[in-house]
Amino acid sequence: MATQTAHKIYELWDTTSGNAVDGFGSEQEALAAVRDARTRYGASYAEAWALIRATSRRVTVIAQG
């Protein structure tokens, strides 16, 4: 019998507004988006962002600030 793997989604959330910034297929893609935002708009632009990993079973905060 095959085991089922939980599908993972990575999301960036603005913790100040409570809005989702964007969703990604991998943690690396999400972190690249944070680096890009910091380069384009300055280090403080993404200060209130949190990176989460969501599966069908739970949501985990990976990084914040």
Print the domain residue range for 20: 9-64
pLDDT greater than 80 at residue 1: no
Identify whether 26 is part of a domain.
yes
The reported pTM is 0.82
Whole-number pLDDT of residue 8: 81
Identify whether 14 is part of a domain.
yes
Residue-wise pLDDT for 7-50, tens only, equals: 789 999 999 999 999 999 999 999 999 999 999 999 899 999 99
Identify whether 3 is part of a domain.
no
Q: Return the amino acid letter for 55.
A: T
Q: CA 11: distance to chain centroid? A: 3
* Total count of domains within the chain: 1
